[in-house]
Amino acid sequence: MKNHTLIFLAILVAAWPAPVTAAEDASVEQMMEMSLEELLDITVTSAGGREQRMKEVSHAMFVISREDIERSGARNVPDLLEKVPGMHVQSIDANRYQVSIRGVPDLATFNLLVLVDGVIVYNPIFNGTVWESIYVSLDEIDRIEVIRGPGGVLYSQNSVNGVINIITRAATDTENYVSLRAGNFDYRSAVFGAGHQNDKLSVRTYGDFSFDNGYDKIRSVGRLNNRAEEEAAGFKVQYDFTPDRKLVLDGKYKNFDGNNRGILGMSQGKWQAEMYGGSARFDQRVDDRYDYFAKLDVIQHTFSFLSTHDSDVVAFSGLTQHNLHYDLAGRHIASLGAELRFSQANTNKLVFPAPAADAQRSQRVLSYFIQDEYRPADKWIITPGLRVNSNDMVPDHVDKYLLEPRLAVLYKLHPKHSLLVSGGRSYRTPSMVERFSQLPLQGGLTYAGTPDLEPERIHNYEIGWRGLMLEDRLSLNATAFKRKTTNLQIITELQGTSFLFDNNGKMTSTGLELDGQYSWNERLTLYGDYTYLHQQTYPDNNAQYYYFDFLEQKFSKHQIGLGLRWTKDRWKCDFYVKWHEGFRQPASVDGLLSPLSEEYSDYIKTKIRIAYAFAFPGLHMDADDAELELVINDLFGDNINESEANYYREPDVWLGLKVKF
């Protein structure tokens, strides 16, 4: 494998000295003035690793725009994702969330890949995302591109059920602002962002601070707040050598300091997460037929669950992608590249879970990929691809090279209607916890990792349709999918004195996802979304294992969201309500994580935002450069639980002022 690593590094170094340069993104004002047809024609980058028109993407994709973010009333990224069809978002408390795509939302959701500006931010210890530590500020996000279903051949491990790529403002964005907010739970927030451009050099920076005491009404324990203090900062520097060649340097930092209360029945404890890192990316468009990029990044991630500095993770990665346009019985865009990722975890002080012997574990993932977007005629886009992964978290008795093929076909039924069919295979490799952990329980019992645990094999099939109708006033998107998982990784019943991780059986998941938007007139827009998910397990042995019930029951099978957006002169009003069907949390076999089976009733979430734009008297500013907002979230949240943390949701009200200059 050393030779393969050297080959990758040679490719990366060769690309570095000498993906297509991005055009300037539309401003919020331009987005508001776009028709539905123009919105479907916006440029995205996550699906193909290069610029593509949204309506030609070969994935089930949803984009949260800058305008959506500004009008959302959200305080964090999971709050934004609530409106995405196929997403399952459960509140743990006022500041923490369990998030998944097409699966069970859990603290250790391990089948979802999250990136910030193309940099992977998951934790390899449990192959999940600590959402509190994602180093980004909402005010600095340009858009979020969500791929539902496998990320295809262009994304690394964890992209089994989906990809969330958070794209922040470009260094060339020169908008300056200050934002202040205050509300109940002693909530207060201060954010600033600034950008400057001088000839070929562009610089942007930001800072974000917030504090709140969180919810304090917790079932069975009493009234204990779950305060949280958060700090984030970052910069982005871009140097344009020519219009077709640029270098971007990026640095970000995030610190979350909170209490661990309610989880596992504990009334005290730490919940601290810190992430900082940097990246360098070089893009060049050589000519009309060839462009490429090369990227290097490093991340340091510290996490404290019960004691200070439970774990530290350092991750290095390098990625290069080359896009070649050519003609052969039609038009082609071939994308090929390689990715190397190395993670080092130090769990010397980790209590939950603790390593069996070696407190330092490493993981290396080496991947090669190739994809060809082929257009034999104007109505057809055929996209075959293959990714080859080598992951040392795969045990020795399994083939180290995991082949992940995918084929997608998009057919334009009409200039405004298209049909998409896709199928592919992917793998979920075990995490460090699943292979090597050792968690002591009461009575001499333990959770024990299984070093020989094999990867899950997933086959995914989708059919989708997107289109415009009613004189382009109504846009609709629909996706149906079926996913088959074999070598299912589950938690066993008691084996001697240990609960083990094991491969047992298979699972079939089916679902339907809908979203639509209707422009009633130039002032009023209505929108909605629907999600259906069903999972059925088929054990090879011992069908009574708790984990089978967990996979089948711990999520809302049906979700329906409805919203409206109204604009008149300087006034903006937004309303969104989402209904979640109730679900069942089965009792865990250890009697600790979930001591009793619980039924969670149907519940709704609401978001209301009213804003007024104005100009401060006597200051040189445009009429809408200042905006005052009132946000009321979870108006009907009293006495509603969403997860085993046992916190009751409470109404969240705050006032905000944002000034641009």
Residues 468-499 have pLDDT tens digits of 999 889 999 999 999 999 999 887 777 777 77
Q: Collapsing DSSP states into helix, strand and coil, what is residue 279?
A: strand
The DSSP call for residue 124 is: T
Residue 25 has pLDDT above 70, yes or no: no
- Among the residue ranges 133-142, 193-202, 211-220, 401-410, the one predicted with the least confidence is 211-220
DSSP 322-338: EEEEEESSSEEEEEEEE
Instruction: Provide the pLDDT confidence category of residue 299 given band limits of 50, 70 and 90.
Output: very high
370 domain residue, yes or no: yes
Q: Which residues are paired to 537 by β-bridges? A: 507
Instruction: Provide the pLDDT confidence category of residue 15 given band limits of 50, 70 and 90.
Output: very low
CA distance 410 to 431: 35
- Torsions phi, psi for 56 (to 5 deg): -110, 10
Q: Which domain holds residue 625?
A: 19-660
589 compared with 237, residue with greater pLDDT:
237
pLDDT computed for residue 23 by the predictor: 38
- Among the residue ranges 21-30, 118-127, 546-555, the one predicted with the least confidence is 21-30
Instruction: Provide the pLDDT confidence category of residue 108 given band limits of 50, 70 and 90.
Output: low
pLDDT computed for residue 266 by the predictor: 45
Instruction: Provide the pLDDT confidence category of residue 56 given band limits of 50, 70 and 90.
Output: confident
pLDDT computed for residue 649 by the predictor: 76
347 compared with 604, residue with greater pLDDT:
604
pLDDT computed for residue 563 by the predictor: 96
186 domain residue, yes or no: yes
Residue 7 has pLDDT above 90, yes or no: no
Token readout for 7 is 């080959």
Q: What would the mean pLDDT of 505-532 be, rounded to a whole number?
A: 96
Indicate which CATH number applies to the domain containing 234: 2.40.170.20
> How many domains is the chain built from?
1
5 domain residue, yes or no: no
9 domain residue, yes or no: no
226 compared with 248, residue with greater pLDDT:
248
What's the predicted TM-score (pTM) here? Answer: 0.90
Residue 63 has pLDDT above 60, yes or no: yes
Instruction: Provide the pLDDT confidence category of residue 257 given band limits of 50, 70 and 90.
Output: confident
Q: What would the mean pLDDT of 268-290 be, rounded to a whole number?
A: 88
537 domain residue, yes or no: yes
pLDDT computed for residue 21 by the predictor: 37
- Mind listing the pLDDT tens digit for each residue in 591-615? 555 666 788 889 899 999 999 999 9
DSSP 415-477: TTEEEEEEEEEEEEPPPHHHHHEEEE-GGG-EEE--TTPPPEEEEEEEEEEEEEETTTTEEEE
641 domain residue, yes or no: yes
Residue 2 has pLDDT above 50, yes or no: no
Taking alpha carbons only, the member of 208, 201, 272 closest to residue 238 is 201
Instruction: Provide the pLDDT confidence category of residue 366 given band limits of 50, 70 and 90.
Output: very high
Query: 246 near 283, Cβ under 8 Å?
Result: yes
pLDDT computed for residue 174 by the predictor: 94
Query: 97 near 90, Cβ under 8 Å?
Result: yes
Mean pLDDT, all residues of the chain = 84
Q: What would the mean pLDDT of 564-589 be, rounded to a whole number?
A: 91
Q: What would the mean pLDDT of 246-260 be, rounded to a whole number?
A: 90
254 domain residue, yes or no: yes
Give the whole-number percent of the chain exceeding pLDDT 70. 83
509 domain residue, yes or no: yes
617 compared with 78, residue with greater pLDDT:
78
155-186 burial: b if 16+ Cβ within 10 Å, else e = bbbbbbbbbbbbbbbbbbbeeebbbebebebe
